Amino acid sequence: MNLHYIQEIVNCFSLFDESGNLLGSASSPIQIWKDGDCIEQSSTDIWYAICAAVKAACSLADVAGEEVSGLGFAATCSLVAVDADGSPVTVSWSGDARRNVIVWMDHRAVKQAERINSCNSPVLQYCGGSLSPEMQPPKLLWVKDNLQESWSMAFRWMDLSDWLSYRATGDDTRSLCTTVCKWTYLGHAHMEQINEKDSRDMEACGWDDDFWEEIGLGDLVERHHAKIGRSVAFPGHALGSGLTPAAAKARNLELGLAAGTPVGSSLIDAHAGGVGVMESIPESESETKDDKEAICRRMVLVCGTSTCHMAVSRNKVFIPGVWGPYWSAMVPEFWLTEGGQSATGASLDYIADNHVASPHLANRAASQSISLFELLNKILESMMHDLKTPFLAALTNDIHVLPDFHGNRSPIADPKAKGMVCGLTLDTSEKQLALLYFATVQGIAYGTRHIVEHCNSHGHKIETLLACGGLAKNPLYIQEHADIIGFPIILPKESESVLLGAAILGAVAAKKYSSLNEAMKALNAAGQVIHPSKDPKVKKYHDAKYRVFRELYEQQLSHRSIMAQALD
């Protein structure tokens, strides 16, 4: 019998065999509430969706629950509130108890983030110099400021992936990934202390109590940080006694797996993508697998609703406006640098959904059984031939997009940044939509180039990109990134790398591999390699557009200053 490893990413459940091959996958819809900057979900709804997806995926793969040998969770870095009984505590103005999850992209806590950043705590140097409103301390402070009853009721505050692990095992051990990246936990301090004791001692000793006191959340220090994490472990650490009988039993709203199934401590979904792809090196470059520094010359792009840019180093690298350095937050015993763009897939959806030509094009795409973006790619190819442009990218010579529709996460770290489009006309045709979409793709790629250049100028030596996630399946998107950044981009053999990365947690918890690092080398595999254009005209063109891209933000700052003076 083959061993099977599972990952669950919010509402998706996938099974992999011991060679890292995807056997089956299923998903179940989850509810989301959006009201301005407030975006909320229900942890109960998410759990029920997972349970439904588990049964569907096992059925599709023809795998019995007792055959599953390991379980791993990955999820968005959203904030979950529960009371002493594990019941949801509302984080919503509505008072609806179901709405106990503040979604990662929620920006309600901008003012709280500004207050925290004004304190200049030493912990801020480990997250690029300032906290984002997408991180957990600003969101926690917002709840305390605005929902006093919820604040007093909450017994545990958890990242969503940690809550899923806790719900499955009853073990409240948090992951170094979530706590270091989103909660200001100092992973290097944690490891320095447990090295002096016993490697099995998972006491959470990386919290900076002065920080929590200074920002007005000193009550979270009480009872040895019980509300935010008394114990912290490497991703993949086996939790408790595995799956509890209550979570495992095969009734309607539970998993239908065997009690005691090993469960690994969690990863944030983007970081699971990094684990699932970081060692995906072509056989022609296999000699680099023996080069212990080769992994430090790579950057993983996890491309979905947002894009995360993951690079690791042996030594800590401090980069203004870029999150980290985070010790062991993704790859154990490496420092993680994490850049990001808050809305990439979401920006493309926004551009498409709000154009008058979109409904008609969506119908045409459906009739051809392709996505809207595949159809737009075809339209662009036809336009290039019809207009006899020298290369595809030249179609956008007079339309430019700054895609900061949800602020700039990296490297400017400006949550107040806005999107900009230069070159609009009265044209409402499908061709105009195609150009606007293409210019947005390019704008996203220029943003990644900005992040890569910024990281390299501060000590990294990135020379190869690896890409995974939904947007990585779009050939135009990947080719533009390669051409604009000037680096080859490796696509993984397993396109669902986020799922594989989380499944690796189950494999490590089940003791199939001695470490996460070993599992990555064994289960990551390379697919296609996309090389940048060798045409010097393409490079010259993108250098010019990149200059315009950078100037758009400078113009925005100027406009912001002019209007601020007018309103002063």
Measured over the CA atoms of residue 273, residue 276, residue 279 and residue 280, the dihedral's sign is negative
Q: What is the pLDDT of residue 10?
A: 46
Mention every residue, 6+ apart, whose C-beta is less than 8 A from residue 371.
365
Question: Going by DSSP bridges, is the β-strand pair 38-41/33-35 parallel, antiparallel, or unpaired?
Answer: antiparallel
Q: Note if the bond before 415 is cis, omega within 30 degrees.
A: no
Q: What is the pLDDT of residue 3?
A: 41
Is the pTM for the entire model greater than 0.85?
yes
Distance, in Å, from the CA atom of 208 to the CA atom of 189, rounded to the nearest integer, reads 10
Q: What is the pLDDT of residue 283?
A: 82
Helix, strand or coil for residue 385? Answer: helix
Domain limits of the chain? 4-269, 273-334+451-530
Q: Does domain 273-334+451-530 have CATH number 3.30.420.40?
A: yes
Same fold, 4-269 and 273-334+451-530: yes
In tens digits, what is the pLDDT along the chain, a chain of 568 residues?
A: 234 555 544 468 889 998 889 999 999 999 999 999 999 999 999 999 999 998 888 999 999 989 999 999 999 999 999 999 999 999 999 999 999 999 999 999 999 999 999 998 999 999 989 999 999 999 999 999 999 999 999 999 999 999 999 999 999 999 999 999 999 999 998 766 555 454 444 566 899 999 999 999 999 999 999 999 999 999 999 999 999 999 998 555 578 899 999 999 999 999 999 999 999 999 877 555 568 799 999 999 999 999 999 999 999 999 999 999 999 999 999 999 999 998 999 999 999 999 999 999 999 999 999 999 999 999 999 999 999 999 999 999 999 999 999 999 999 999 999 999 999 999 999 999 999 999 999 999 999 999 999 999 999 999 999 999 999 999 999 999 999 999 999 999 998 899 999 999 999 999 999 999 999 999 999 999 999 999 999 999 999 999 999 999 999 999 999 999 999 9
Q: What's the burial of 254, exposed, middle or buried (CB within 10 Å: 0-12/13-18/19+)?
A: buried
Q: What is the pLDDT of residue 55?
A: 86
Q: What is the pLDDT of residue 11?
A: 67
Phi (first) and psi of residue 40, to 5 degrees: -135, 155
Helix, strand or coil for residue 402? Answer: strand
Angle between helices 430-457 and 475-485 (to 10 degrees): 40
DSSP symbol at 533: P
Mention every residue, 6+ apart, whose C-beta is less than 8 A from residue 457.
none
Six-digit token pair at 183? Answer: 């909660």
Distance, in Å, from the CA atom of 169 to the CA atom of 46, rounded to the nearest integer, reads 16
Question: In which residue are the tokens 């991703």 written?
Answer: 235
Question: Going by DSSP bridges, is the β-strand pair 232-233/263-268 parallel, antiparallel, or unpaired?
Answer: unpaired
Nearest by Cα to 285 from 539, 542, 526, 41: 526
The third-level CATH classification (topology) of the domain covering 4-269 is Nucleotidyltransferase; domain 5 (3.30.420)
Six-digit token pair at 378? Answer: 């075809």
